[in-house]
Amino acid sequence: MEGQEQLMLVMSNITKRFPGIVANDHVNFALRKGEIHTLLGENGAGKSTLMNVLDGIYYPDEGEIVIEGKRVDLRSPLDSMKHGIGMIHQNFMLVDSLSVIENVILGLESQGFYIDKKSVADRIEAIARKYNFRVDPYAKIWQLSVGEQQRVEIIKTLFKGARILILDEPTAVLTPQESEELFGILREMKSEGKSIIFISHKLNEVMSVSDRVTVLRKGLLVGTVDTASVTERELAKMMIGRDVLFRLERKEIEQGREVLKVEDAQAHNDRGIMALNKLSISVHGGEIMGVAGVAGNGQVELAECITGLRHLVSGHVTVEGIDVTNATPCTLASAGVNYIPADRLGVGLVPNLSTVDNAMLRKYRQKPMCRGTFIDYGAACTYADGLIEKFDIAVPLRNAPIKVLSGGNMQKLLLAREIAENPRLLIAEHPTRGLDVGATEFVRKTLLEERDNGVAVLLISEDLDEILMVADRVAVMYEGRIVGIVDTHHVDIAQIGLMMAGAVGAKA
């Protein structure tokens, strides 16, 4: 047993039930002072739920929480804040149209009627300096990159005096470089005696950054181990209960006809700046074309242009020889174009509608769901059940709003829905973001299967390892243009890195 004095936090016998599921089943969790402690588990294992209990968002049905030897009753995030707990959620909780300062002081009780922006700005800058990063306190949130937004979230919690910091999948949305910078900040905090709870599905990160790991499986505690005493493979096994493949088999297959052809595409981004700069690319059936590049170089806009969600200023898009430039999403759907967007709750799914409603989003016009003017909800349920079963999605109640699904299960549902439509062209944007190792393996295998069936796949990802693992060719994007295409069989990673940074073009 550990000495009581060095324990920052003890959660014992925490049970939280939701309709249809026990998300946490008598879970015990202890956090030491000055440690980085990873919470690991499959999608839907109950990690976010346990942390939401600690943040006062959910009140546990059973169990007790002790902070620094004192029993506490956490009934709201405000309570948790008073006990020094700060949480950065899987989906950020910032107000886009407000400035950094305004977001930081939002919900702060001690603030009087009059707000002294200058002194708040100074304190924000002081915090940033302490951890060796910069942030403009007067910038509006929407002007910041995802990585910067995350830092605002961190500042927000530190500003409120957090001593226990919870980060729910912070690296899912970051580039590898940004992740490294984040780890630097976390290590700095740790050396100051702050305690950090970290959730991630990326085992290499877990190994490198954390001191101890607690594993959950289906709401139950599997155990807590010292990171130094385990391997990645052992962790994966604790988490899923079986061995996972870290290597995928890639069959050699005949490349098919050209399916997607984009020529000289130009398009604006949401802020009206030209994001695609005479971009051309072509993808064949039976091929996975990876698109690598630092976020914000036009990847999203490219995907949206092909799926009919964004207007092309000039250029052409053809799918299987048919011109679909600026066609409606409907036309594109019948041309066999399917899309797995990165922004799953913003574009792909409707958070407040049920699993059934979401499952038929692209199919409700077809039989058997559609009967003339009417929708046959019986058939829709059958259809949803089929997807749930085939893709092994954990859905406690299929008529409950989809927002209560765990992050990974939402992604699985989205993937299932798109693949079930038998696409000719599949555009996948960060398809494994937020997925556990088992599910990641499953998604990659599915993408490869689709390729083997002759589907053209455009895989947009910031994860080079992923691209190299599944893609046949990789196109590197920089400033709205493809700066080079290389074969992934014989590739020089350093070369790709330089191309992503805009330093060089492709080798001849």
Partner 1 sequence: MLRFEKRDKTPVQLRVLVPICSVLLGLFMGSVVMLFARVNPLRAYGAIIKGAFGSAYTFSETLVIAVPLILISAGLCLVYRMKFFNIGAKGQYIIGAICGSYLALFGPATMSRPLLLTLMMVLGTLGGALWAIIPALLKVYWNVNEVIATLLLNYIASYILWFFMYGTWGTRGFPLSKNFALNAQLPRILPSPSRLHIGLFFGLAAAVIVWIIIRKTRFGYEARVLGENERAARYAGINVFKTVIIAAVISGGLAGLAGIAHTSAVLRVLQLEINSDYGYTAIIAAWLAGLDPLVAVGISVLLAALEAGGYQIQIVMRVPFGIVGVIESSILFCLLAGEIVTHYRVTLTRRLAA
Ligand X SMILES: Nc1ncnc2c1ncn2[C@@H]1O[C@H](COP(=O)(O)OP(=O)(O)OP(=O)(O)O)[C@@H](O)[C@H]1O
Interface residues with partner 1 (CB under 8 A)?
A: 18-19, 58, 75-76, 78, 82, 109-110, 307, 309, 328-330, 333, 339, 341, 346-353, 357, 361-362, 364-365, 370, 373-375, 377
Contact 38, 28 (CB under 8 A): no
Contact 448, 440 (CB under 8 A): no
Nearest approach, Cβ of 213 to ligand X (angstroms)? Answer: 14
Contact segment (CB under 6 A) with ligand X among 42-50, 148-156, 293-301, 365-373 equals: 42-50
From ligand X, Mg ion, partner 1, none, which one binds at residue 315 (CB under 5 to 8 Å depending on kind)?
none
Nearest approach, Cβ of 450 to partner 1 (angstroms)? Answer: 19
Nearest approach, Cβ of 413 to partner 1 (angstroms)? Answer: 13
Cis upstream peptide for 368 (omega within 30°) = yes
From ligand X, partner 1, Mg ion, none, which one binds at residue 307 (CB under 5 to 8 Å depending on kind)?
partner 1
Binder of ligand X out of 394, 420, 491, 498 (CB under 6 A): 394
Please say which residue, 34 or 351, places its beta carbon nearer to partner 1.
351
Contact 495, 507 (CB under 8 A): yes
Nearest approach, Cβ of 17 to ligand X (angstroms)? Answer: 9
Nearest approach, Cβ of 61 to partner 1 (angstroms)? Answer: 11
41 near ligand X (CB under 6 A): yes
The end-to-end CA distance of the chain, in Å, is 62
From Mg ion, ligand X, partner 1, none, which one binds at residue 361 (CB under 5 to 8 Å depending on kind)?
partner 1
From Mg ion, partner 1, ligand X, none, which one binds at residue 49 (CB under 5 to 8 Å depending on kind)?
ligand X
Residue by residue, DSSP assigns 111-147 as --SS--HHHHHHHHHHHHHHTT----TTSBGGGS-HH
Distance, in Å, from the CA atom of 239 to the CA atom of 218, rounded to the nearest integer, reads: 9
404 near ligand X (CB under 6 A): yes
From ligand X, partner 1, Mg ion, none, which one binds at residue 150 (CB under 5 to 8 Å depending on kind)?
none
Nearest approach, Cβ of 487 to partner 1 (angstroms)? Answer: 33
Distance, in Å, from the CA atom of 238 to the CA atom of 447, rounded to the nearest integer, reads: 26
From ligand X, partner 1, Mg ion, none, which one binds at residue 333 (CB under 5 to 8 Å depending on kind)?
partner 1
Looking only at the bridges linking them, the beta strands covering 70-72 and 62-67 are antiparallel
**Residue 455: strand, helix, or coil:** coil
250 burial type by CB count under 10 A (0-12 exposed, 13-18 middle, 19+ buried): middle
Contact 315, 325 (CB under 8 A): yes
| Alpha carbon of residue 137 to chain centroid | 26
408 near ligand X (CB under 6 A): yes
Backbone angles phi and psi of 375, in degrees to 5: -110, 130
Distance, in Å, from the CA atom of 52 to the CA atom of 168, rounded to the nearest integer, reads: 10
Nearest approach, Cβ of 25 to ligand X (angstroms)? Answer: 11
Backbone angles phi and psi of 287, in degrees to 5: -135, 140
Please say which residue, 199 or 470, places its beta carbon nearer to Mg ion.
199
Please say which residue, 395 or 455, places its beta carbon nearer to ligand X.
395
Binder of ligand X out of 38, 48, 99, 157 (CB under 6 A): 48
Binding-site ranges for ligand X (CB under 6 A) = 18-19, 21, 23, 41, 43-49, 394, 396, 404-409
